A = this chain, B = another copy of it.
């Protein structure tokens, strides 16, 4: 069931993304659309959209109403990868087996394509189509969660911390905080936006936050493990990106065995939060799948 559902979520998310960031041909600024689409359609696993759609469905909500938010969060994730890859940031030439955006389109266009995707995420939330579909109140609430998670108190804050800890030895507290913000914040926002789209109650939103926080941390731990023992790519991190810069991570902090154990326990804890949902099966299987990368 998991793979079929994931495939379907990916298909509807990509259709929506294609509507939000159209192929333009008659505009003087065509290039920026090409550049945005290059990174947007480059084989991302669409895990964040799957969380938005999965939580909405787990609550018996109408997944159509979650779709604009699923697309918006993927737009933001994609912009963050483009800016992260820039020469002045991680200076990565390859991502997902293809040259990075700035390698193909030049740095200036890559900066603007990133800006454009970030801005377009909010255009999608504010759009007449979205507001007609979900109502002004839901659009505002979901937008608030997304913007809070993407900004300087969320993901961007995490990127700053990450940069400043490059090549340093960091405390477990710093590593936790960094991951909580850099990757955790958007994962949590995805879960909560799915809940908001389905009209969830406070208890369900709290459960979703806990689930997301657990799989987010488990994901990061496994990522650190894979940087040591081999690799896979699910959440869109560049392959092996952290392996060679001596950054403190969960493996350097706790060792391989203890790290594996932590990831296992976090995955179980995530699954245990799901009993307040009507149809939790997809989310339980998703947690397992993310853990299984470990093997």
- The residues of B that contact A127 with a CB separation of less than 8 Å are 144
Q: A29 to chain B: which residues have CB within 8 Å?
A: 152, 156-158, 160-161, 181
Neighbour of A83 across the interface among B36, B111, B140, CB < 8 A: B111
Expressed in whole angstroms, the Cα–Cα distance for A155 and B86 within the complex equals: 22
- Min CB distance A126 to B, Å, is 4
**When chains A and B are docked, how far (Å) is the Cα of A83 from the Cα of B111?**
8
A119 touches which of B32, B151, B181 (Cβ 8 Å): B151
B114, B136, B147: the one within 8 Å of A122 (CB): B147
- Asked if residues A136 and B143 are in contact (CB atoms below 8 Å), the reply is no
Chain A interface extent, by class: 35 or more
**Which residues of B have CB within 8 Å of A178?**
28
Residues of chain B with a CB closer than 8 A to A157's CB: 27-29, 32
> A128 contacts which chain B residues (CB < 8 A)?
144
Residues of A within 8 A of B (CB): 27-29, 31-33, 36, 79, 83, 86-89, 106-109, 111-112, 114-116, 118-120, 122-123, 126-128, 131, 136-137, 139-140, 143-144, 147-148, 150-152, 156-161, 163-164, 174, 177-178, 181
Can you spell out 13 A-B residue pairs with CB atoms less than 8 angstroms apart? Answer: A28-B157, A79-B115, A86-B108, A112-B156, A118-B118, A122-B147, A123-B147, A123-B148, A123-B151, A126-B144, A127-B144, A131-B140, A139-B140
